[in-house]
Amino acid sequence: MPASEAAPTFELLSGGTVAFERIVRRIDEASRTVMLRCFEWRDDETGNLIGEALLRAADRGVKVTIFKDRVGMCYEHLEASKQSFFHKQVGPEAWLQARFLMVVYGRWGSLHQQPNPVADALLTHPNVTVLRDQKRFDHAKLYVIDNEIVILGGMGIGDDFRHTNVDFMVEISGAGAAARLEDRYEGRVTFDPNRSFDYLLHGFQGSGPPATLAADRLALIAGVRKRLTIEMAYLGDRACTEALVAAVERGVRVTLLTAARANVLGDLNLATCAEILRRTGSPSNLRIVLHPRMVHGKAMVGDGAWVDLGSTNFTTLSHASYEELDLFLRDADFAAQVEAAIEGDIRAGTPAQLPLRYRWLHAAVERIAMAIHGRH
């Protein structure tokens, strides 16, 4: 970074109310471009809030580009409002996938979709490009405003993300934050853990060398010496489980917060927690806490020195199948903020102890469902 260039700024947006207020404000302030990537976009109050903000931007001449993944439509039909913002047509493949998930999770969604005039207006606006028909397996949650401000994290677009889930976003501005992100997406540069900040990326679209997000994250965990604080939506990747067990066994103080009952992969999550407790002997340097609300955040803090925060879960879907995006930041002050936020969430939770109640057959089925869902 040139000496004359201001250092980037990083602001933690903890909770959906704060995050969506900031996202709408930044869209309303945009003067040239808005680009967003989204896995889930529900047709509900929050979905329309974002849609209307984008329409206002387009009406004043801002060029809006929306990457909306078709894979996420299954979860839009299954959960919350059960209405997809953009994916109103349910073809045979989507019907089968949605029905499969409904059977696995015992929840019956809706394949009858109501029209949405805001979505229709975006699809036909001359300043808006909507890419929604491909299965990009793009799980990133990303907003780039005027190629200057980057907002990323774990929140999809919907009332549950805004009002219910425990989750994070982060705003990054200044010092080429957007330019570095573009370089990472295009494969022109690789992840550099020695930088003050970078982006952990798992993607298939760039023209450069393949990203190594899983290996990079595992290396970060392996390098922790004193404490590792984690808030994680979904578990089940065996390599991540091994890394956490190894951290506990070498004396690292490991804290893991997840949901008492996740919206999906709930039994696999609990089975993974039980395995970690059992294999380590539940020592005093291991703390697993189960939150009564849906924990949808994906954040790690290592030794109070670095933060990994974004869209990437501890699952094979995130590490092998989906496109994912995290911020990696070496900053003790920001690390302290994220740790404090996780500790605040922990206060509402209950410590996990053996025996943990879960359905082992359901956990096995969820692992199979994850493998099927992640096939390209």
Average pLDDT over residues 8-24: 97
Q: Percent of the chain scored above 70 by pLDDT?
A: 93
Same domain, 53 and 82: yes
Same domain, 216 and 265: yes
Q: Cα-atom radius of gyration of the chain, to the nearest Å?
A: 20
Strand order in the sheet with 33-38: 9-14, 168-173, 149-153, 142-145, 33-38, 63-68, 128-131
Residue 286 lies in a domain: yes
Domain boundary among 151, 177, 203: 177
Residue 188 lies in a domain: no
Please state, in angstroms and rounded to a whole number, the distance separating the CA atoms of residues 274 and 267.
Answer: 10
Residue-range definition of the domain harbouring residue 307: 193-373
- 298 and 333 Cβ atoms separated by less than 8 Å: no
Q: What's the CA dihedral at 23, 166, 311, 86 to 10 degrees? A: -60
Same domain, 203 and 134: no
Alpha helices in 154-265 (DSSP H): 159, 177-185, 213-222, 238-249
pLDDT at 164 over 80: yes
Domain boundary among 177, 203, 226: 177
Confidence bin at 241 (pLDDT 50/70/90): very high
Q: What is the DSSP letter of 264?
A: S
Task: Average the pLDDT over each of 105-114, 175-184, 359-368 and give the range with the smallest value.
Answer: 105-114
Cα 145 from chain centroid? 19
Considering the entire predicted model, what is its pTM? 0.94
pLDDT at 36 over 70: yes
Going by DSSP bridges, is the β-strand pair 168-173/9-14 parallel, antiparallel, or unpaired?
Answer: antiparallel
Residue 293 lies in a domain: yes
Residue with tokens 């929840």: 107
pLDDT 10s digits, 298-346 = 999 999 999 999 999 999 999 988 999 999 999 999 999 999 999 999 9
Same domain, 234 and 171: no
Same domain, 198 and 304: yes
Q: How many domains does the chain have?
A: 2
Same domain, 35 and 167: yes
- 370 and 317 Cβ atoms separated by less than 8 Å: yes
Residue 1 lies in a domain: no
Same domain, 170 and 250: no
